[in-house]
Amino acid sequence: MATLELSGIRKSFGATKVLHGIDLTVPDGEMIVIVGASGCGKSTLLRIVAGLEAPTEGTVRIGGREVTALEPADRDIAMVFQNYALYPHMTVAQNMAYGLKIRGLPKAEIARRVGETAELLGISALLDRRPRQLSGGQRQRVAMGRAIVREPKLFLFDEPLSNLDAKLRVQMRAEIRRLQRRLGVTSLFVTHDQTEAMTLGDRLVVMHAGHAAQVATPMEVWARPADTYVAGFIGSPAMNFLEGRLAEGGHAVALRAGPVLRFADGPRPGPEGRRLTIGIRPEHVVRDGENGLDLALDLVEPLGSETVLHGRLPGGEALTAKLLGAAPAAGGSLKVAIPPAELHIFDAETGRRLDPRD
């Protein structure tokens, strides 16, 4: 086990800049999830840690040792790929043992590690099978087993669940987290799936256009997003954004939709009339039959115990609400309110979160 330290990591492919100075320290035993949309640089960052790409600038340290210029085989890491990368002509046992055999470990030690890992993953009965005889979930377990038997200092996961069906993804997600905690190996997990990110990570690195937009615990990212990108990316359905202006000496916001909402946690800085972006999560929108805003419903999605409503406010702004129970059909309307205590306040120009302590 070891710490991972990234300092000033930049990467360019010709004139195209992909990473813009990433600094990150992963303590021993922590599970970090790098999450972001396609093209944000998350897989490039993982490949730099693995040694499959060289950074244009910056250093990579594993366990205090600089490995920036070392080959992947010399970094003491193990990687689980999206496509499993199993050798089709080898059995499960041979696939798991291959890396150990290359390293010259004694046969008895190889057999012990393969046997213990297979038992840990529940694949002991599959050791004599070949990959084509396995289901997707079984292949994923074998790929994980091949990484575990190496007993590396660092685990790297490159979207390993993206090829699985929804039910199996949930099962494997829980299994990866359970195994990581049991083994206590420092891990980096790349995904574009925010549910995977929220459930797997001790901390998240939310990537946006080659920058680390926010590094924090999953609940901190959800409750206090650093900017409008993070706020809109994390959460399902996505956060609503409304236009507003600072009012009442910084103690309130006047929404374009009409009402003035007083901040529940103190004033925001800036002159009267400063343009703001107001965020409200769909699950925080509430019904209000007396004083609410009229939400004209365009689409109603019943989900059993909950209903997701997509509609428009009187000023024309789109608003999504996630309410308990049933709701009127599309084409109707519903009165809703936005609780001031649940507001997220961002600067309209920069998109950065405005904290009352600033």
How many alpha carbons fall within 13 Å on the CB side of residue 278?
31
H/E stretch holding 54 = none
Higher pLDDT, 259 or 75: 75
Q: What is the pLDDT of residue 161?
A: 86
**DSSP at 150:** T
Same domain, 220 and 159: yes
CA distance 146 to 157: 13
Q: What is the mean pLDDT of the chain?
A: 92
Examine the fold and report which residue of 207, 226, 245 is the final residue of a domain before the chain moves on: 226
| 292-317: pLDDT as tens digits | 889 999 999 998 889 999 999 988 89
Q: What is the 3-state secondary structure (H, E, C) of 301-354?
A: EECCCEEEEEEECCCCCEEEEEEECCCCCCCCEEEEECCHHHCEEEECCCCEEC
CATH number at residue 184: 3.40.50.300
> Do the domain assignments include residue 358?
no
Task: Kindly calculate the radius of gyration of the chain based on its CA atoms and give it in whole angstroms.
Answer: 24
289 has pLDDT over 80: no
Same domain, 209 and 188: yes
CA distance 234 to 230: 6
92 has pLDDT over 70: yes
**DSSP code string of 257-306:** TS-EEE-SS-PPPS-TT-EEEEEE-GGG-EE-TTTPEEEEEEEEEE-SSE
CA distance 229 to 33: 17
Q: List the domain range (segments joined by +) for residue 301.
A: 237-347
164 has pLDDT over 90: no
> What is the pTM for the complete model shown?
0.90
CB 147 within 8 A of CB 78: yes
276 has pLDDT over 90: yes
Q: What is the pLDDT of residue 130?
A: 95
Q: What is the pLDDT of residue 325?
A: 79
Same domain, 203 and 243: no
358 has pLDDT over 70: no
H/E stretch holding 63 = none
CB 91 within 8 A of CB 148: no
* Closest CA relative to residue 143, chosen from 196, 76, 85: 85
Same domain, 259 and 143: no
